Structure 1
Amino acid sequence: TLGRVIAYTLLGIILISILKEGASVFGIQKAVGKWGELLLGPLLLIIGLFMLFGSRLNLPKFGFDGKVEGLAKKGGWGAFLLGVLFAMAFCPSSGVFYFGMLIPMSVTATAGWLLPILFAVATALPVLVVAWILAFSVEKVGEFYGKMQSIQKWLNIIVGALFVIIGIYYCVIMYF
């Protein structure tokens, strides 16, 4: 949550500062709208293919192998960096809310600097609730984790295939 708050806040400060200096909000919204639509299909396609076949690639690990044990060894800094990473991985609707509505509204609002912080906390609340329930209410987290690992393979295949299908759909719509 702290990683998300800091990432959204810093991004918000940068964007609000740029916009208050005179950059056109409409120009930025137009650029995000134009390029976002053009890039969405290929990005979904690439991400989906990576989800399906990424484990077969011999890519460098850069110190994080994607397992909880590696993150646990990194402690709070690992969790913080993961929060920043997940914060910057905007889903399309979240990106529209943040860049298309929140940032332009923050430029014109009196306390606009606080809006990215509130957005970060509000979007992190569901994650915090689920994490709290798992950490303190479930007695057999180990069993739950084992079951999740067994179905993670199938979920990756399903989500990867959906991303590929949706990516192809968007590519056909935008380019053909």
Structure 2
Amino acid sequence: MAEWFIVLSSALWFGVLTSISPCPLASNIAAVSFLSKQVDTPAQSISMGLFYCVGRMLSYILLAALLLYTATSAPRLSSFLQTQMNVIIGPILIVVGGCLLGWISLPTSNWSISHRLQKSLAGQGKLGALSLGSLFALSFCPTSAALFFASLLPLIIAQQSSLLIPSIYGFGTAIPVLMVALLLQFGSLKVASFYQKVTQVEMLARMASGGVFLLAGGFYCWLYIVPMLLG
């Protein structure tokens, strides 16, 4: 029970940290602002925001399921991950810490959703909002790529969970998005000021998380890799 609490709490925090990173945050604010202009009532606006968030969650679940299936369907890879996870998790955590601190940059996709496609999907109502969220979720920047592929994926493989863990991660990415939708609807959000404040919070959270990842990675390396090298 304690292990699952740590795993799910980590997945939730990875999701929140992903969502408030500058690149996803900017696209989320733009998407939710755009969607809110397509409807007339607060309930409709919040509903569109919810469907946008559900779309993001579905993309993460499907991607996690595909990656988990790929990892477990290859016998050699599956055996290696099951027996050597404790050995490789240390270097992985160090790499993620380096990414969060800006020392390492992972290659990511450069594709983006055109304004024309965004406008077309936004005009399709709830299904369009869900589709827009699904597409934006797959547009990884260096920070979100490090958090999903190098942090969340090892948890998914270790726990053999392609539904619960990515769902919690997706929910974490949805929390700031829903806050933006609510604040926009009630007219209490000045986008530029909000973005600046959240970016400052994100930088502090990312630096603190990066330090924790480095310490945890060093601890795992000390426990599992150093004895192998000395032996």
- Under TM normalisation by the shorter chain, which class is it? 0.5 to 0.7
* 1:166 equivalent in alignment to 2:216: yes
Q: 2:64 aligns with which of 5, 8, 21?
A: 8
Deviation per CA, 1:116-147, whole angstroms, max 9, x where unpaired? 56775565345435522331346326233221
The two structures have a TM-score, normalised by structure 2, of: 0.46
> Residue 71 of structure 1: CA displacement?
7.5
Q: Answer yes or no: is the 8 Å Cα contact 1:3–1:82 preserved in 2.
A: no
- The runs of 5 or more residues in structure 1 that have no matched partner are 65-69, 103-115
Q: 2:178 aligns with which of 109, 112, 132?
A: 132
Q: 1:149 aligns with which of 193, 199, 211?
A: 199
Deviates more, 1:75-84 or 1:158-167: 75-84
Counterpart-to-counterpart distance in 1, 2:108 and 2:64 = 26
* 1:79 equivalent in alignment to 2:129: no
- The residue aligned with 2:89 is 40
> Residue 150 of structure 1: CA displacement?
1.7
> Residue 167 of structure 1: CA displacement?
1.0
* 1:95 equivalent in alignment to 2:145: no
* Percent identity between the two aligned chains: 16
Q: Answer yes or no: is the 8 Å Cα contact 2:68–2:156 preserved in 1.
A: no
Larger relative CO (CA 8 A, sep 6+): 1 or 2?
1
Q: Answer yes or no: is the 8 Å Cα contact 2:109–2:139 preserved in 1.
A: no
> Residue 154 of structure 1: CA displacement?
2.3
The two structures have a TM-score, normalised by structure 1, of: 0.57
Counterpart-to-counterpart distance in 2, 1:162 and 1:122 = 21
